[in-house]
Chains A and B, each alone.
Chain A
Amino acid sequence: MVRTLECPNCGGTVQLKYERTLNAVCIQCLSVLDATTPALQILQKFQGAQRYEPRIPLGSRGKLATGEYEAIGFQMRSIEVDGVTYSWAEYLLYNPYRGYRYLTEYNGHWNDIRTLRAIPTVAKSMSKEALMHRGAKYTHFQTATAATAFVMGEFPWQVRVGETVEVKDYVAPPSTLSSETTAGEVVWSIGQYTPAAAVWTAFGLPGAPPPAVGIYANQPSPFKGRVATTWALFGLFSLVLILAMFLLAIAMPGQRVFDRKYSFAPGTGEPSFVTPIFRFEGGDRNVDVTINTDLRNDWAYLSLALINDDTGVAYDAGKEIGYYFGTDSDGQWSEGSRGTTVTIPGVPAGTYYLRVEPEMEKDGRYHGMNYEIVVERGKPEYIWLFLAWFALLIPPTITSIRAFSFENRRWAESDYGPLVKSSSGDDDD
């Protein structure tokens, strides 16, 4: 039953809708009134600096998951950290069969909160303080003193502007556990992060909700679970890559079509020569021409031309080989290599021979080498599979970095943020 009374401070109309209301606030002059006294005794006159308008009008009803609730009270509360005041709005909701619950809003982030009857238990934690509640571990986020800055509507408890409580928040996104401690009383509550659009829909509020700013303490990470699954998918692709590598190795062992040993010493006649003819079968395939030498502190340069005897097409390449070794104050050293490979891509089938022209230093001293020429065809180019593996690393790495960045931004607002650490460091100085 609605009781209509007169505000003893301003004479305005005060309506009391709920029997359990202890304090009511006059909408006109914002005086806090004692609803249990017939004459509405003034408990506190409004002395705040600012009047706030609730986004959810008092008296409006909204359908939440647990039933229909009416917004009956509104208060602004704030904490001060490092000289900065952070304010949030709290809406007291009432359902005659289900009791009270709250909606809080900070910078466009909403939470649906109800008080807890069970007290959470202390959880084992290596770093931050933690609590357990219904199998979930809640990590300490922030401890602060919250002050009531503005009140409006009806409240089933004694409410005063300027009243302070110690608030401790623990998070397990999308849930949060909070304790509010006043003299001799601790009230526990649990909240669920609620999209603003759901609040707008529930209460039929006009327009679109203001966009959320920053990342809230218990805001669910859009990357939760994605990091593990992207790495799992990467693992799956890696297995497929290994399998592809094995299959290629089995299916394409490569065909050795030519292998012969030669010797060379400069100044002993025409250096260039051609090899006997060899034949490539099948489609276009890579050809690897490998030179293995016995060079010792010397270099050699080989001009190579793989020539198609039928078409007159030549694949021309040059390779330098150098191998040096010795001993100095650092011990033994070596530099270069005695062998090299030239890969000629997409060589069609046909009859071929190699034209080889070796060169070595001509400085009056003896230079010479024994070397072997090996021609193989049809070996897979595994480098592409290795490159693909590195390219596959990109998505899970980016996801991990973004998830890490999200959590960093979340915890930057906590008691464990970088600003807190640096300011405590300054104090030590």
Chain B
Amino acid sequence: MFKHPIFALYGMLLLGAASLASYRGFTFSDVDTVRGVPKSIRDNPGAYRAIYSSYHRYSGGK
């Protein structure tokens, strides 16, 4: 480790950052945040305008 101080530092920083990211659960997610959703949605779920509704999707198979 002492023969390669730069690699040692690089490795320790990398391990620390990766462990923290794993612990905190950092992720690249395709989730959007919407604010101010009214409480009435619980009684009328169809009134919620989902961002991803009417998504054009693949259908088929081999």
Binding between chains A and B:
yes
Interface pair A357/B18, CB less than 8 Å apart: no
B19 touches A303 (CB 8 A): no
Known A248-B22, A286-B27, A343-B29; contact A270-B46, beta-carbon cutoff 8 A? yes
Decide: A384 and B11 in contact? CB cutoff 8 A.
Answer: no
- B8 touching A248 by the CB < 8 A rule? no
Contact mask B8-45 → A, CB, 8 Å, 1/0? Answer: 10110011011101111111011111111111011001
A316 x B52 contact (CB < 8 A) = yes
Kindly state whether residue A230 has any CB partner on chain B within 8 Å: yes
> How many of chain A's residues touch chain B, expressed as a range?
35 or more
Contact B46–A272 (Cβ < 8 Å) = yes
> Could you tell me if B15 and A309 are in contact, using CB atoms closer than 8 angstroms?
no
What number of A-B contacts does a CB cutoff of 8 Å give?
A: 174
Most buried by B among A284, A333, A378, A392: A392
Residue in A248, A270, A301, A324 whose CB lies within 8 Å of B55:
A301
In the assembled complex, A317 has its CB within 8 A of some CB on chain B: yes
Q: CA separation between A209 and B10, bound complex, in Å?
A: 36
Beta-carbon contacts under 8 Å, A275-318 to B: 284-286, 297, 299, 301, 303, 305, 307, 309, 312-318
Q: How far is the CA of A29 from the CA of B19 in the complex (A)?
A: 77
Q: Which of A326, A335, A388 contacts B14 (CB 8 A)?
A: A388
Partner of B21 from A312, A336, A384 at Cβ < 8 Å: A384
Q: Are B37 and A307 in contact (CB-based, < 8 A)?
A: yes
Collect the chain B residues with CB atoms within 8 Å of residue A225's CB: 3
Q: Does A187 belong to the interface (CB within 8 Å)? A: no
Please determine whether A357 and B50 come into contact, CB atoms closer than 8 angstroms: yes
A342 and B35 CA atoms in complex are apart in Å by 19
How distant is the Cα of A31 from the Cα of B11 in the complex, in angstroms?
A: 65
In whole angstroms, how far apart are the Cα atoms of A383 and B26 in the complex?
A: 10
Q: How far is the CA of A342 from the CA of B30 in the complex (A)?
A: 9
